[in-house]
């Protein structure tokens, strides 16, 4: 049961609880966001305690006034679970009587109360979001507002003194306004899972700030998939290609229970994949001191890779680990799975279950001829995504190897450290570097080789920009025009050349509305990249090569950089912020949100031919 909408609780009491909860949130920020809290600690803790008491009182009032007490009590399962966890901590606490146990118990009580308060605030925010999704607010506008709210919260959290290392404030050219813009830039980059940075993540942010970035990456990456599933089931074809094609074609007509199971699958599969990736990344950090820090590095990079964020705790990304096996056998699969999208992952999971069932049936003794002929038919969306993704990886790898081998044979020498420039590596190393670059260009933003204009050839930068413009797959954590969009455009050209009326793939006809949306997305994306590049050339006075590469990276939410982003002016950073935000939400979704509801016309004009070539 939701307290904010419960008819049993009086409106004045609900308002009072919300006000006290907001004050408690501010008190938590003042307590943990500042090295020295600006207000007395007893006052801040008192506000937090008042918020907990007010919430418990409102719950008790609701239970006392409810005519169905058992049903209402069952609705409090999460609150009871949290309180039970706190009691268990008290019961199993080993108190040393010689060191003032009252103070220890008081500190534990305060910590438990703060955890309970933060958890409840987070739950209420999620419930508010779900309540808004059932309102008349257009889903596209709701998505924009949700991302904007998350970005604002992340900006405020990153702007707190405890989130940034002291040397940032002690710099001679430190400016508060520029610092806020940098925090906004970092928050947008993390929430939109891009990876472009103006502050170095590992050296300029404290563990508190890095944790905020990690939370934004997880919420931004996982939230877009949950949003895609939720709104794909609520409104069907009213949204962008990402929701209408991926979710509707894969899930079909789902009930509310199916939707809940789908969301649980998204969350569970993401956490399981990230946990496996973190465990496999652990041995790679041999130069990191303590085991705790190695675990932290593993978790951070596993989440960043799966969500295709590209944030790293080293300023050189993964160039120091370019020959580690985890880079190719762990990071590449994490990036690829995150870039395939939930519909494809779900389809592959169902196929694996069918194959496992057939295998266990045969092993059980029924024999191959008596085993049930269970078959799983992949959806058209999955076939297009897997085929296009594989072709792009192979073409990108071959292209980078050929382009950089040709430049290396011409005797050109890079300015980067030895081994981190692709053309200076051996053929085997060049192939591995090209494979990683081909994968990361379309989604992630990690790099194992230098990406500046001196270390990578102009033709390789052009190929990388093309891959970034294409991006990953629909309903994933990636940006760009998507693999399905590229495939549909190519199939449309092929159908036109062959004189076919319909666009077909794998024995299926693609609806005309999908083709129109793909064309609209590609066109708007092209205009967005062009506008961002022109503005960067105007504000920064840089070459077209650097401006286009940086613009494509921002609009495609990739995160690769030639080194221009950290040196941008405030105006240039605002241009990249807008590009990342528009690219993450999708140009068509953003335009739908800004345009508002559309009314279909009740008439049609006469048709007339025009010359197109």
**pLDDT at residue 319, as a whole number:** 87
SS (H, E, C) 302-363: HHHHHCCCCCCCCCCCCHHHCCCHHHHHHHHHHHHHHHHCHHHHHHHHHHHHHHHHHHHHHH
Structure tokens at 515: 């083709």
CA distance 386 to 348: 10
CA distance 231 to 246: 12
Q: Return all residues near 591 (Cβ < 8 A) that are at least 6 apart.
A: 524
- Tokens 């929430």, located at residue: 191
CA distance 268 to 346: 12
Using DSSP, state whether 510 is helix, strand or coil. Answer: strand
CA distance 144 to 151: 11
What is the sign of the dihedral through the CA atoms of 566, 571, 572 and 575? positive
Phi/psi for 509 (5° steps) reads -100, 130
**pLDDT at residue 234, as a whole number:** 41
Structure tokens at 244: 């209408």
Phi/psi for 508 (5° steps) reads -130, 150
**pLDDT at residue 82, as a whole number:** 63
Distances (CA, A) of 397 to 258, 327, 411, 412: 40, 16, 22, 21
**Contact predicate 204/168, CB 8 Å:** yes
- Enumerate the H helices of 134-175 as residue ranges: 139-158, 166-169
- Tokens 């221009």, located at residue: 564
**Contact predicate 478/472, CB 8 Å:** yes
Q: Give per-10-residue mean pLDDT for the chain (613 aa).
A: 53 75 79 80 80 77 75 67 62 48 52 62 58 59 80 90 88 88 94 90 91 90 57 39 39 45 76 92 85 91 91 88 88 91 84 81 60 72 92 94 73 48 82 92 86 88 93 81 91 89 88 87 91 93 91 91 90 94 76 62 80 70
**pLDDT at residue 117, as a whole number:** 62
**pLDDT at residue 252, as a whole number:** 37
Judge residue 98's burial from the number of C-beta atoms within 10 Å of its C-beta, 0-12 exposed, 13-18 middle, 19 or more buried: exposed
Structure tokens at 544: 């077209």
CA distance 544 to 540: 11
pTM for this model (two decimals): 0.82
**pLDDT at residue 351, as a whole number:** 85
H-run or E-run covering 504: strand 503-505
CA distance 48 to 56: 13
């Amino acid at each position: 049961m939701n307290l904010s909408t419960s008819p049993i609780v009086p409106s004045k009491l609900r308002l009072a609880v919300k006000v006290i909860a907001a004050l408690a949130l501010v008190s938590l920020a003042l307590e943990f966001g500042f090295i020295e809290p600006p207000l007395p600690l007893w006052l801040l803790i008192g506000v937090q305690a008042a918020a907990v008491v007010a919430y418990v009182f409102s719950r008790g009032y609701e239970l006392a006034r409810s005519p169905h007490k058992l049903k209402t009590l069952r609705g409090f399962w999460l609150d009871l679970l949290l309180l039970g966890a706190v009691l268990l901590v008290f019961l199993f606490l080993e108190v040393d009587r010689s060191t003032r146990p009252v103070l220890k118990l008081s500190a534990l009580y305060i910590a438990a109360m703060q955890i309970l308060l933060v958890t409840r605030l987070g739950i209420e925010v999620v419930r508010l979001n779900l309540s808004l999704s059932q309102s008349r607010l257009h889903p596209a506008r709701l998505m924009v507002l949700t991302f904007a709210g998350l970005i604002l919260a992340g900006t405020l959290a990153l702007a707190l003194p405890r989130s940034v290392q002291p040397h940032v404030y002690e710099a001679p050219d430190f400016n508060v306004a520029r610092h806020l813009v940098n925090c906004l830039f970092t928050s947008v980059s993390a929430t939109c899972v891009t990876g472009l940075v103006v502050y170095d993540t590992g050296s300029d942010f404290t563990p508190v700030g890095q944790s905020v970035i990690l939370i934004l990456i997880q919420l931004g990456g996982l939230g877009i998939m949950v949003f895609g599933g939720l709104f794909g089931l609520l409104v069907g074809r009213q949204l962008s290609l990402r929701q209408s094609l991926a979710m509707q074609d894969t899930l079909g007509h789902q009930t509310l229970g199916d939707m809940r199971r789908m969301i649980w699958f998204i969350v569970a599969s993401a956490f399981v994949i990230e946990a496996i990736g973190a465990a496999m990344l652990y041995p790679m950090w041999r130069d990191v001191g303590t085991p705790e820090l190695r675990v932290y590095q593993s978790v951070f990079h596993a989440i960043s890779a799966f969500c295709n964020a590209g944030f790293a705790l080293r300023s050189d990304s993964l160039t120091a680990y370019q020959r580690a096996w985890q880079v190719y056998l762990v990071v590449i699969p994490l990036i690829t799975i995150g870039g395939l999208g939930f519909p494809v992952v779900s389809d592959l999971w169902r196929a694996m279950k069918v194959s496992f069932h057939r295998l266990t049936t045969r092993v059980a003794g029924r024999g191959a001829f008596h085993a049930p002929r269970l078959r799983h038919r992949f959806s058209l969306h999955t076939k297009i995504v897997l085929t296009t993704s594989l072709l792009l990886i192979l073409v990108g790898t071959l292209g980078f190897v050929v382009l950089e081998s040709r430049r290396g044979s011409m005797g050109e020498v890079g300015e980067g450290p030895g081994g981190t420039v692709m053309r200076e590596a051996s053929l085997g190393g060049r192939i591995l570097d090209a494979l990683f670059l081909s994968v990361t260009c379309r989604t992630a933003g990690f790099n194992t080789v230098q990406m500046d204009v001196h270390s990578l050839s102009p033709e390789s930068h052009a190929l990388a920009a093309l891959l970034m413009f294409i991006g990953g797959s629909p309903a994933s954590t990636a940006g760009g025009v998507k693999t399905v969009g590229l495939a549909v455009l190519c199939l449309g050209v092929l159908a036109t050349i062959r004189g076919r009326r319909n666009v077909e793939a794998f024995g299926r006809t693609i609806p005309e509305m999908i083709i129109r949306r793909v064309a609209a997305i590609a066109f708007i994306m092209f205009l967005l990249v062009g506008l961002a590049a022109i503005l960067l050339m105007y504000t920064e006075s840089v070459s077209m090569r650097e401006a286009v590469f940086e613009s494509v990276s921002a609009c495609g939410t990739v995160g690769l950089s030639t080194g221009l982003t950290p040196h941008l002016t405030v105006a240039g950073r605002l241009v990249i912020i807008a590009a990342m935000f528009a690219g993450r939400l999708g140009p068509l979704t953003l335009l739908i949100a800004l345009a508002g509801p559309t009314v279909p016309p009740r008439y049609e004009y006469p048709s007339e031919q025009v010359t197109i070539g």
